[in-house]
Amino acid sequence: MKIVHVVGAHPNFMNVAPVIRALARRVGITQVLVHTGQHYDANMSDIFFQQLGLPESDINLGVGSGSHAQQTAQIIARFEPVVLEYKPDLALVYGDVNSTVAAALVCAKLGVRVGHVEAGLRSGDRTIPEEINRLVTDQISDLLFTHSADGNANLLREGVAEGKIHLVGNVMIDTLVRLLPAAEAQWHMGPWATWEGRPYMLVTLHRPSNVGEPLMLGRVLETVAEISRRLPVIFPAHPRTRECFDVETCKARHPAVHLTEPLGYLEFSGLQRHATVVVNDSGGIQEETTYLGVPCLTVRENTERPVTVSSGTNVLVGQDMARLQAEVDRVLNGQARRGQIPPLWDGYAGERIASVLAGIS
């Protein structure tokens, strides 16, 4: 059985790593890793491959940045010849980025089976491009690997046949479990070692709704600066975020806001593990903080990972900066939400996916 894995952005790298490792232990399975180049910055791509122990990609499509339409079209055009040359039995796509839906469309039209890892995630907000990617990918996939029961319910409600759906758990947590010891070691030896035992807030923001609107970004930065007066802030700034404000001016005005370049997986995981509270607009960070038991405040009106709110440590604060400050105060007053780890978030999701694939090969 020949399997092509398609990845494009750093959340995909964290998801594909445990699946590749699990399949490598199976007899008779050949794997090909395709990197679309959607994330091409060294800090957003190369370092993740290195720290996750991923093999160098067999093929890099070199797509780079662009509008959603341009990027998706480029991936489709460049990926089709790869499928025609390699003739895979199955393509595995991950998450909800443009690479995900583009590769799924190519394979579906060429009659190649598609497996979608992280299927069934829904925010209910179709103004978010990723929501469209999720809906389309799930409708044309043959195997849908979900990470929680709500994903199964979403797919069944949308008419997906029950036999296609496999509840396997969260592959991103597989990576976190495996690399936490290395992240801890790097934390104790790295530049953040002096922060051990000190309270701090970890911030990461990248969504256009937060950083692409100057007025909203200004409100966010003002609020973060205000919080830094009572709780130091570490803010690894995504490349998209750094383009939207004057980093040096912000550093000079707000010395307790420690702005940094984007960090590798190990560095960020160590910071996340020891943070007093994490503020984000990500998807995976909501899951990782839930597993780690770290309070998480998400600057979004909705989430495609509601289990992190219903069971985990995540609180949606929307774009209400007064609510954000109030929730930080709750954390500092010992009133943080105490969550639980959802079922099957145990480090073995990759093995479950491999078992399903071995059964159909």
> What is the 3-class SS of the chain, one letter each residue?
CEEEEEECCHHHHHHHHHHHHHHHCCCCCEEEEEECCCCCCCCCCHHHHHHHCCCCCCEECCCCCCCHHHHHHHHHHHHHHHHHHHCCCEEEEECCCHHHHHHHHHHHHHCCEEEEECCCCCCCCCCCHHHHHHHHHHHHCCEEEECCHHHHHHHHHCCCCHHHEEECCCHHHHHHHHHHHHHHHHHHHCCCHHHCCCCCEEEECCCHHHHHCHHHHHHHHHHHHHHCCCCCEEEECCHHHHCCCCHHHHHHHCCCEEEECCCCHHHHHHHHHHCCEEEECCCHHHHHHHHHCCCEEECCCCCCCCHHHHCCCEEECCCCHHHHHHHHHHHHCCCCCCCCCCCCCCCCHHHHHHHHHHHHC
Phi, psi of 202 (to 5 degrees): -100, 130
113-117 and 90-94 beta bridge pairing: parallel
Active site residue 166: no
Catalytic residue among 10, 35, 116, 206: 206
> Taking a C-beta distance cutoff of 8 angstroms, is the pair 123, 147 a contact?
no
> Taking a C-beta distance cutoff of 8 angstroms, is the pair 22, 351 a contact?
yes
Burial status of residue 100 (CB atoms within 10 A of its CB: 0-12, 13-18, 19 or more): buried
Tell me which residues are annotated as active site: 206
